A and B are shown apart, each in its own frame.
Chain A
Amino acid sequence: MLRLADVSKTFFAGTPNERRALRHVDLRLAKGDFVTVIGSNGAGKSTLLNVIAGSLPVDCGTVQIAGRNVVKVPDYKRASMIGRVFQDPAAGTAPHLTIEQNLAVAESRGKRRGLGKGVTRARRHRYEHDLQTLELGLESRMRHRVGLLSGGQRQALSLLMASFTGPDLLLLDEHTAALDPQRAELVLGITERVVRDSGLTALMVTHNMDQALRMGNRLLMMHEGEIVFQLDEAAKKDATVTDLLAMFGQVKGQLTDRTLLG
């Protein structure tokens, strides 16, 4: 479903501030894979998602989604294949539009936006049903502006907007990091259900190792722009947070040695 080959991205190339955010990254996701991505700050996790979504151009390498090379496709055109939820709850929704208008904007993803009515009765009916699955009572507030919702409610709505059209790929960029633990759990539960029920292929960045182990069927760790190790389904099942920390320490040690020796 997703295939990255030899993807590199450097910021401020040729200046003293040069930062190599991605170094020759190779990654393959099969259909239905739900991969969690961990790594320290500046490891390149968000850059990876931005490169896949097309918000950032790659320096070299190829990005294939559903068998199509999309390196030259601008972000708004890739959007027909990709659903995204951002870390900031305000980023994924339009605050001055109502809940139903936001959903209508999301539903037109990948379609021609013409002069047909945005929120039709049929759509409203369907949204009511979709919102019920979130179990937040939003279905009774469809004509309220999204700016009035709490962060957790907005993230749940963003998640619905990103996923309910069945995109080829769902990108989650620390989408629970700005929420309190209780709300984060709620949104994670919805995430799990949505991904499972719609059979989506997903890539979820998180800082929370426990989350990373609990969710999805594969895990990968990034460090200084490289994927330093991966766990497949079997290995991930038995792994603990302590294991992850140990592995991270080991990798970090190796890298430091290499940097010193190199």
Chain B
Amino acid sequence: MANTLELGMLYALLALGVFLTYRILNFADLTVDGSFTTGAGTAALLITNGMHPLIGTAAGFVAGSLGGLATGLLHTKLHIDPLLASILTMIALWSVNLRIMGKANLSLLNQPTVFTPLAERGLVSTWWSVGILAALAIAAKLVIDAFLATNFGLAVQSTGDNPAMASSLGISTDTTKIVTLMLANGLVGLSGALIAQLQGFADIQMGVGLILVGLASVIVGNAILGTRFMFLASLGVIVGSATYRLVIFFALRWDVLSPQDMKLISATLVVIALVISQSKGIRAFFARISPWRRSDTVPEPLLAVPSTGEEEA
């Protein structure tokens, strides 16, 4: 269980990256599947070559963000559709990742990692390490919250919310998109670097299908905590990541399912979460049981004239 939540907190970094692109920027970014392995491979390569694990981890962030940069440039400068641009990067990164790692699997056995200090004290896979990693995820979430509240962050939010309005107010939407994609894929790369160190290896396959994990976390988390306040929306992503891991954990205890059904479970979970977040009845149910979401359903005072434009999603 502790091990499951440990993974949940590390994948929460990836989910926060997906939150930035999918929710804030309104950009379907599939780069994730590639940039996760890029982060993991870069960290593993540097650590096996004797670099300090912290430097390897930071390099994982940088390497991931370069994947985001590639997608951003393909989309903004060459005007390729977001989905296609990110698929192109994802596929190209497969070769790049093999070049970085030199082979399909890079072991970190007997290498120092960022988890070595924890392992020496026997804290890995205990509630202690869950707490430490949760603190890391929450720190990342708070940084994102603060970033989105800056002048530049508000420009990023406007870009996702109403691009025409953003450029009419002097925002270079190319810049906001590229920076956000870099930040998001940096987080994904960081997540990959840490998970490689926790598992003790980087593998060319490890990123496959992770966009679904990220989406599941974002959608499940936002269904639970709502999106009314940025603080709760990004917190929900972490909660969603933990929830996702727990669902997988319990699903695999059921004899009928085996680890090869993971992807099917992921996809099913995303479908269920999407249906839940669309269904008015189920949303009302969540609103009743959640103390924070009540504000969502309070009718607006002094609102006699019906809104003509887009309603709250």
Contacts and interface: CB of A to CB of B under 8 A. Distances in A.
Interface in B297-313: 300, 302-303, 305-313
Contacts of A145: 312
B110 interface: no
A53 B313 CA distance: 31
A94 B312 CA distance: 11
Nearest to B313: A96
Interface in B151-182: 151-155, 157-158, 161-162, 164-173
Interface in A130-149: 137, 144-145, 147-149
Nearest to B176: A113
A62 interface: no
B309 A89 contact: yes
B49 interface: no
B147 interface: yes
B307 A105 contact: no
Interface residues of A, number: 48
Nearest to B227: A96
Given A96-B161, A147-B310, A79 B169 contact: yes
Contacts of B157: 94, 96-97, 101
B106 to A, nearest CB: 36
A116 to B, nearest CB: 6
Contacts of A152: 305
A109 interface: yes
A105 B171 CA distance: 9
Contact of A95 (B149, B161, B303): B161
Contacts of B164: 86, 91
A148 B151 CA distance: 23
A118 B168 contact: no
B260 interface: no
Contacts of A96: 157, 161, 313
A104 B170 CA distance: 13
Interface string B255-290: 000000000000000000000000000000000000
A229 B166 CA distance: 35
Nearest to B228: A145
A88 B305 CA distance: 16
A79 B308 contact: no
A contact patch SS: loop
A79 B167 contact: yes
Contact of B152 (A80, A90, A115): A115
Interface string A66-78: 0000000001110
Given A77-B170, A108-B155, A109-B170, A150 B305 contact: yes
B170 A115 contact: no
Contacts of A90: 162, 308-310
A178 interface: yes
A15 to B, nearest CB: 21
Nearest to B23: A96
Contact of B162 (A84, A94, A149, A183): A94
A92 interface: yes
Given A76-B166, A148-B307, 18 more contacts: A76-B173, A79-B170, A89-B309, A93-B162, A108-B151, A109-B169, A113-B150, A113-B155, A114-B150, A114-B151, A115-B153, A116-B151, A117-B151, A147-B312, A150-B305, A151-B308, A152-B305, A178-B308
22 contacts: A75-B167, A75-B168, A79-B170, A90-B310, A93-B162, A94-B158, A96-B161, A96-B313, A97-B157, A105-B154, A105-B158, A116-B151, A117-B149, A118-B150, A118-B153, A119-B149, A147-B311, A148-B300, A150-B303, A153-B305, A154-B307, A178-B308
Question: 3 smallest A-B Cβ distances: which pairs?
Answer: A90-B309, A79-B170, A151-B308
Interface of A: 53, 55, 75-77, 79-80, 84, 86, 88-97, 101-102, 104-106, 108-110, 113-119, 137, 144-145, 147-154, 161, 178, 183
